[in-house]
Chains A and B, each alone.
Chain A
């Protein structure tokens, strides 16, 4: 019975993984083949389909990291810290890719790689928060102390999220707020956001599971060392 349910679960997982990869490939193909070429920027505008998707992942990662950190502080259960760690890693990747793709788009649109626009500055602060969180976590050995410090930094860093999201409305800058798009462009953008969200959710779950396994291995190694010969 257990073997059959395990096999069914593995099969469902494989189908789910394949569906996520297919979603991302469809989004990628749509960005190049379905979306029309923009009149002013030409092909460089297609960066937007990737940039918005990874930026969304970068923001969602920070939100999840703060929520998991708060849950850890309430429950003191390391499972929540594993979610926070996985969200921090993937959010950092999303934030890094946001800055890289944004810089490439900015060079094509504004002829500069970087400018201290409010949206760009707050996005850079978010990236620095992720980097700080990961560095802090890497430097603390005690898992509960690491979880506590990571949670506090993640919750404090979440204050940057509304600033990133609302920067184009609250402050004067040159970053576009929500540019008007043709329906086909909007559909491709939506497909890209959904595809990348699914991919990052899959990686998040896999990484969390791996962190759980890693903790079990560490605990067994420690208990083995303490055992009398």
Chain B
């Protein structure tokens, strides 16, 4: 019975480890994309200068 439990536990831990690794990688990628998006938005927003204010 102990062998059976260890076998199933090992399998689930292995799968869980892989899924957690995928999730961590996905989070990193999404953070990178979100950082770019923020920078793009900041570049596109028109900034108010004294010259544009006077105009």
A: residues with CB less than 8 A from B are 28, 42-44, 46-47, 50-51, 54, 89-90, 93, 96-97, 100-101, 104-105, 107-108, 199, 203, 206-207, 210, 213-214, 217, 220
Known: A210-B26, A213-B29, A220-B36. A108 touches B3 (CB 8 A): yes
- B33, A104: Cβ atoms under 8 Å? no
A213 to B26, alpha carbons, bound, how many Å?
A: 9
Known: A203-B18, A210-B29. A107 touches B3 (CB 8 A): yes
- A206, B7: Cβ atoms under 8 Å? no
Whether B54 is near chain A, meaning CB under 8 Å from some CB there, is: no
- Interfacial chain A residues near B25, Cβ < 8 Å: 210, 214
A139 to B35, alpha carbons, bound, how many Å?
A: 28
A135 to B16, alpha carbons, bound, how many Å?
A: 22
- Interfacial chain A residues near B1, Cβ < 8 Å: 42-44
- Partner of A97 from B4, B10, B33 at Cβ < 8 Å: B10
Nearest Cβ on chain B to A38's Cβ, whole angstroms: 11
Nearest Cβ on chain A to B55's Cβ, whole angstroms: 28
- Interfacial chain A residues near B15, Cβ < 8 Å: 93, 199
A-B Cβ contacts below 8 A, count: 57
- Interfacial chain A residues near B33, Cβ < 8 Å: 217
- A100, B3: Cβ atoms under 8 Å? no
- B26, A44: Cβ atoms under 8 Å? no
Nearest Cβ on chain A to B40's Cβ, whole angstroms: 11
A44 to B2, alpha carbons, bound, how many Å?
A: 8
- B29, A104: Cβ atoms under 8 Å? no
The CB with the most chain A CB atoms within 10 A, among B7, B8, B15, B33, is that of B7
- Interfacial chain A residues near B14, Cβ < 8 Å: 93, 96-97
- Partner of A210 from B3, B10, B22, B32 at Cβ < 8 Å: B22
Sorted nearest first, the 7 A-B pairs with minimum C-beta distance are: A104-B3, A101-B7, A47-B7, A104-B7, A43-B1, A100-B10, A108-B3
Nearest Cβ on chain B to A4's Cβ, whole angstroms: 23
Whether B20 is near chain A, meaning CB under 8 Å from some CB there, is: no
A207 to B29, alpha carbons, bound, how many Å?
A: 13
